Structure 1
Amino acid sequence: MASLTNYDLKPSLVLSETDHKQLTVLALAGLNTSSDAADDLLYEIERARVVPEKDFPAEVVCMGSTVTYRPDNGTDRTVTLVYPADADISEGRISVLTPIGTALIGLAQGQSITWVARDARKHALTVLSVTHQS
């Protein structure tokens, strides 16, 4: 059976108007400091469909979402997607400017995506569940 990493999976993404605006500012500001991460985030933002908050689907990952996903190594992980200043991997809070954070933003439950890690290796992950802060 072929691994998901043998393919380039680029599923459709959805962002709320607020996340789209804030993430665009974050990515543009990061172009001078962490250009690879900022470029990757801008790419994902540009291909996302933007919807008003009231129409944002509950099963889609947004900023502040807690996400359970399965990476290509098969070990399920649960993280909360945050802005860089709030990131703390020991608390399970990952920055949207990390390769996994950028891969997760805008994905819906059940979707898979391939992404490139900082070591230049291609990986895949699948979103298993999404919960939002109340």
Structure 2
Amino acid sequence: MSMRNRSSPHLYSVPLSAGNTVERPILGLHDYGRLEVATYEQFDMLSPMRSRIARLLADAHVIPTSEMPPNVITLGSTVRYRVDSDRIERRMLTIGRENVPHNGQYVSVLTPVGLALLGRKPGETVVTETFDGLKLTIDIVMLEHQPEAAARAQNAGPDDDGGPEAA
């Protein structure tokens, strides 16, 4: 859970119990805000996804988006994963279903599988539950593209030598 210290404008993290062996998901401030807004815009008060999203937002380690490690799944990431030891799926993680082609190449974070992927890393295994109570085990195989890492690489440019201060 992240909280704001009243004397400081920065967020800090409150550690979960010491016995917790599952690594906390990592969310950038931008993804955190988008997910929070989408929850209120997309779901009524009785939706089961609303409480799942609230739990993720409460448990997540929230960091500035500019400090997002390049191996964490964020909104807009392209990820390969396997559900229940089946074939590997390749999907781009999106916030919603509007303006997204229905071609099977996207998974929304507003679904149990998409929400389970957000903030996780390749090599992790997460368990989620469908709306009818079926448990799904998701093995995260590979992160092919992360928008934050791509933006940092583009901003650095091929001839970025650190500027005159680097000399």
Q: What's the TM-score, normalizing by structure 1?
A: 0.83
Structure 2 residue ranges without an equivalent (≥5):
1-20, 151-167
**Which of 51, 55, 62 is residue 43 of structure 1 equivalent to?**
55
Q: Do residues 81 (structure 1) and 98 (structure 2) align?
A: no
Q: Please give the alpha-carbon distance, in whole angstroms, between the structure 1 residues aligned to 2:102 and 2:124.
A: 23
- Helix, strand or coil for the counterpart of 1:15? strand
For residue 19 of structure 1, report the CA deviation from its aligned partner: 0.5
* CA displacement at 1:48 relative to structure 2: 0.5
Q: How does 1:1-134 map to 2 (within 5 A)?
A: 10-32=22-44, 35-84=47-96, 85-130=98-143, 131-133=145-147, 134=150
CA distance in 1, matches of 2:105, 2:131: 19
SS at match of 2:81: strand
RMSD of Structure 2 on Structure 1 (CA): 2.0
Closer, same or farther: CA 92–53 of 1 in aligned 2, 3 Å: same
**Among the aligned pairs, what percent are the same residue?**
24
TM-score, L = length of structure 2: 0.68
Distance in 2 (CA, whole Å) between partners of 1:89 and 1:110 is 28
Instruction: Supply the distance in 1 between the matched residues of 2:141 and 2:87 (Cα, whole angstroms).
Output: 12
Unaligned residue ranges in structure 1 (runs of 5+): 1-8
| Conserved? CA contact 1:70–1:76, under 8 Å | yes
- Aligned to 2:103, the other structure's residue is in SS state helix
For the residues of structure 1 that align with 2:141 and 2:130, how far apart are their CA atoms? 20
**Going by fraction, where is helix more abundant, 1 or 2?**
1
Q: CA deviation at 1:49?
A: 0.4
Q: Flag the structure with more relative contact order, 1 or 2, with Cα contacts below 8 A and sequence separation at least 6.
A: 1
Aligned length: 126
| Contact 1:10/1:114 (8 A) holds in 2 | no
Structure index of larger Rg: 2
Structure 2 residue identity aligned to 1:17: L
Residue identity in the other structure for 1:77: E
Distance 1:102-1:64 versus aligned 2 partners, 3 A rule: same
